[in-house]
Amino acid sequence: MNSGKTIFSQLMDFLPQYEFRKCVARYKGSYKVKRFTCWDQFLCMAFAQLTFRESLRDIQTCLRVTQPKLYHMGFRGKVSRNTLANANLVRDWRVYADFAQTLIAIAKPLYAKEDFGVQLDQTVYALDSTTIDLCLSLFPWAKFRKRKGAVKMHTLLDLRGNIPSVVFVTHGKVHDVKILDQLSVEPGAIYVMDRGYLDFHRLYRMHQSMGFFVIRAKSNSRFRRLYSHSIDKSTGLRSDQTVVLQGFYTKKDYPERLRRIRFYDPETDKTFVFLTNNFSLPAFAITELYRCRWQVELFFKWIKGHLRIKAFYGTSENAVKTQIWIAISVYVLVAIVKKQLKIEASLYTILQVLSVSLFEKIPIYQALTLSGYKEQEVANSNQLKLFQ
């Protein structure tokens, strides 16, 4: 007798299935599909992410062992290694990319008031990329070097809650700065970037779109100082200047004024030079914003260490992108559950608890808060009483 829902089923209840069906219809994901639907594929891949499965055969074995529970967990099609491999190969990865964006739109308002270390009203994003190494002989489409393949995950991270707002998955040869061409700039938002994104023509387009940027300057950049502003050297600041670019082409790419801030960090004994088009924030706040950029590096480290995006279940480009986008969906889903259930535990703790309790039939809140729970005995009314 089934009493209660499994934790996996309760977790999937947080997903907007109506929006998922819209994504499937948008890219004709149900074309010629009879049994194993896109939703079944998503559930299998989400299960693999949550329980750290290593291969398609591993997924099949674990799910077939619990066959009587699969229907109550939301599965309607039969789980088979070949069927799942074919689904990852042929079903459009954009179904899961769009669904991940839907989850991101749900998560962002939940973390809109989160503190990330700097008191600002504007939205602050950190833009960076991480490289996932691949074997070129198995992934010939993932061009990177002569004898090495790779894909890049370019991520625009909202520093309030560390929610990835935009993710682009490309092969390894795509330079980081080219992602600025695909970025839709949010007016008034602040974009914090490393010097790999320093391209004055693209930064000027961001400036014209009413976006602010904070970026490190390169050592060979040439400027002409117009004004110097007063600073407090006890904070590590060394200069705060209004400058213009020198050089025929660079000045043509960015004809407006820039703000150049020089900062000395005693912990690393290094001097950093920052460029920004924001003249209203204090100079020390600009340096603190760049320090917060490290959160995107921690995000990459977390998602590589705790989700399956370094080893893939398929070798095609579609299979790799499908797995990455479902991994991002699982990350955002856990973040949504954490906020909606008001759980104090970290995302790491929540993921670890889920990995060993997906088949348990206890309330998900009690499982994630590690509170005691006693399962109530349900009387079976069909059992006859032999003794009075």
Q: Helix 294-306 to helix 317-340 angle, to the nearest 10 degrees?
A: 110
Query: What value does the mean pLDDT take over residues 2-21?
Result: 86
pLDDT at 54 over 90: no
- The DSSP bridge partners found for residue 215 are 193, 275
Distances (CA, A) of 106 to 101, 102, 164, 239, 342: 9, 7, 12, 41, 15
Tokens describing residue 206: 């961001």
Neighbouring C-beta atoms of residue 77, cutoff 10 Å: 19
Alpha helices by DSSP H, 91-188: 94-110
Query: What value does the mean pLDDT take over residues 91-116?
Result: 91
> Which residue's entry shows tokens 């309790």?
357
Distances (CA, A) of 59 to 43, 49, 52, 63, 177: 11, 10, 9, 6, 38
Q: What is the pLDDT of residues 263-304, one digit of tens each?
A: 998 888 899 999 999 999 999 999 999 999 999 999 999 888
pLDDT at 240 over 90: yes
Instruction: Give CA–CA dist 307/53, Å, rounded.
Output: 10
Q: What is the pLDDT of residues 105-116, one digit of tens each?
A: 999 999 988 887
Confidence of residue 210 (pLDDT cuts 50, 70, 90): very high
SS3 61: helix
- The DSSP bridge partners found for residue 99 are none
Confidence of residue 35 (pLDDT cuts 50, 70, 90): confident
Give yes or no for a contact between 99 and 329, defined as CB atoms under 8 angstroms apart: yes
Tokens describing residue 49: 């992410």
Give yes or no for a contact between 112 and 160, defined as CB atoms under 8 angstroms apart: yes
**Per-residue pLDDT at 67:** 76
Distances (CA, A) of 331 to 118, 162, 293, 298, 345: 24, 10, 20, 14, 15
SS3 70: helix
pTM for this entry: 0.87
Instruction: Give CA–CA dist 231/214, Å, rounded.
Output: 18
**Per-residue pLDDT at 98:** 95
pLDDT at 367 over 50: yes
Give yes or no for a contact between 334 and 345, defined as CB atoms under 8 angstroms apart: no
Instruction: Give CA–CA dist 201/341, Å, rounded.
Output: 45
**Per-residue pLDDT at 3:** 57
Q: Where are the domains of the chain?
A: 7-95+315-368
Instruction: Give CA–CA dist 368/378, Å, rounded.
Output: 24
